[in-house]
A and B are shown apart, each in its own frame.
Chain A
């Protein structure tokens, strides 16, 4: 481990700008579920992702496309909180960053949530504060997650997509 870290440092010193850009590109961070929307713009810059914003009557959808082509939508309430996220692409997004504090409910996030199951190609969580649906196979994944308690007035769970 130590030897390897040393190597990385040497590379970074030799060609810092490229290495730094690669590092930023490959560590995408999002305004996580339940988080503050003001960080979305910072995330976009850090990820070098493209972003589109679509306003509806009751909420805003911030759509990011990551460097590996994953489309991530963040649903932002008038109060400025991310109440839902969705994803689709050829690869799984970083679920721990996407779900933030809700990630502890994801299977295998902790020893307590690690269980032997066979059918790994779909997952549904219907908890009091987290609804999550994830499906797909190699090179085609999609899913969505929201906190029912954070849904703005008049918004339904299936609006997060």
Chain B
């Protein structure tokens, strides 16, 4: 818990101003008729208070008329002043606050209101924390212990436990003063999520909570729950997008953490990117160049939109995994100037939840940082003497549009958090339930590690290696599309096709009826196999199932059919999220250890 710097500055000013007043009265401008200066000295019986506690503040007023002082409190109404006399007052802290606060009690001379003195008192709230820290998966019929801890509760009143929804999502058992056990439902068909909240009895508004998602099977500390549910933007559901939650903490400090839902899981990018507006309580360290400039990161999209914000260091928790000192991008909320090298001169800065369609992006593509491709670091000047438009060094008020990119080594690049996990760090398995017709929502899992635990075996999956650009080849409808890839962050099968596009959703395909199609994927050095998929009329599907989030047959056009010749032109087939329905898709991270018998990463497998 923290408090605003602005308030601290204001309080410092108040103290400074009071000192000035006192000093000036010594100078003789504020005097009693007899000429002796008036002054006030305050003594407090305590400088720190917990919830509901009281303190007596005494004033020694040097004033020939002995008229004493009057009392004021700032912030007004944060607690109460009672038993007010000319020389003392009792302050009582409130009983229902949750943010640490510094209050100021000021005494003002009755004889001369220009003479004041004040004392500051820190008031600490009851803080409740719960372990586990972040959302967990659990198998049906299993149990998980939970621990609650409370600080600043002088009455040691303890906590109460509650579960939402109250029925059908498991129960709470074995409640002790410091813990309880979550008992998952005995049987589930679809995943069921329960939110457990622990509240201080002394101050019920001091709470902490954690979610458990019960799966039929396959849960574990290395498994995060995924939801394809439209995401966090109310009234503007995002179809075919998988979301999870992450917990971000100030480095090395478990007491200052925030859990953020609505994080898009994206195999098409690398690195965690969080909207600044989602982490107001955190103060994450950034990189400075010594002249006060902050290292900023840029993501550009093919449509000219972009993400902008500083590289920041944080401990990132996902399921039971932790990426200590992960380097992430904090997407700046302000619309301060951005280098043209990043913005391309466009205004499409995706810096709000509404614009991004998510609260953040968890980029888990097969690379360790956002500037490494197939073992080559393109930002550290080892290969490209000129740095590309990914990293910039800018003053706090914003970049100059003409500012150029800077060289940045791997130790300052936005990092794939999976690569930093202690054990399950060589890749991921993204798995979603099969889909036959549009659905309101569906579920899945993101499993960390490949062949590192009993629940992440490669099994019979076929490995497809990638080329120097990080892509593989898809052969579709007599086209050899050599810049193809798998992208859970894309909502469709995206390809150069002959089907008509839609009249309403003009980027999408609208065949007259469902089309069943087949393509062949071919890895760079190994892997070959057919993929059956289908594309249906997007306008019809969206119109008949408004508000649905799951469409297994969504297709989009990214280039003119047959414009790809010898690797130039429209040569990209994007296997978007519909590809993941009913599949387990493995992503092996470049440079990490891979299972015995598999080629060096990066590669995909399914």
Contact = CB atoms under 8 A, between A and B. Distances in A.
A103 B345 contact: yes
The binding surface of chain B is classed by DSSP as loop
A114 interface: yes
Contacts of B485: 137, 140
A138 to B, nearest CB: 4
Interface in B361-390: 363, 365, 367, 370-371, 373, 378, 384-390
Interface residues of B, number: 73
Interface string B473-498: 00000000001010101111010000
A142 B302 CA distance: 8
The binding surface of chain A is classed by DSSP as mixed
B58 interface: no
Interface string B300-337: 11111100000000000000000000000000000000
Given A90-B378, A120-B302, 15 more contacts: A68-B378, A69-B384, A90-B388, A91-B388, A95-B344, A107-B305, A114-B346, A116-B236, A118-B491, A121-B301, A124-B507, A124-B557, A141-B302, A157-B563, A161-B563
B400 A4 contact: yes
B306 to A, nearest CB: 9
Contact of B268 (A68, A73, A121): A121
Contact of B558 (A106, A117, A135, A140): A135
A7 B385 CA distance: 23
Contact of A86 (B387, B469, B507, B569): B569
A52 interface: no
B299 A122 contact: no
A139 B469 contact: yes
Nearest to A96: B345
Contacts of A134: 302-304, 558
A120 B305 contact: yes
B386 A140 contact: no
A23 B402 CA distance: 10
A142 B483 contact: yes
Given A121-B490, A138-B299, A133 B400 contact: no
Nearest to A67: B386
A120 B191 CA distance: 30
Interface of A: 1, 3-5, 7, 22-23, 25-27, 67-69, 73, 86, 88, 90-92, 94-96, 103, 106-111, 114, 116-124, 133-144, 157-158, 160-161
Contacts of B552: none
Nearest to B568: A161
B314 to A, nearest CB: 21
Contacts of A73: 568
Contact of B574 (A4, A22, A121, A160): A121
A136 B37 CA distance: 77
A120 B556 CA distance: 12
B489 to A, nearest CB: 7
B345 A68 contact: no
B400 A5 contact: yes
Contacts of B299: 138
For A73, A133, A137, A161, the residue with the greatest tally of chain B CB atoms inside 10 Å of its CB is: A137
A138 B270 contact: yes
A54 to B, nearest CB: 12
Given A1-B400, A92-B302, A119-B491, A137 B388 contact: no
A161 B564 contact: yes
Contacts of A96: 340, 344-345
B350 interface: yes
Contact of B395 (A3, A94, A118, A120): A3
A136 B565 contact: no
B304 A95 contact: yes
Contacts of A95: 304, 344-346
B46 interface: no
A123 B568 CA distance: 17
B392 to A, nearest CB: 11
Nearest to A92: B300
Contacts of B359: none
Contacts of A119: 490-492, 507, 556
B157 to A, nearest CB: 47
A123 B386 contact: no
Interface in B540-574: 556-560, 562-565, 568-572, 574
Given A114-B347, A135-B574, A90 B302 contact: no
B152 interface: no
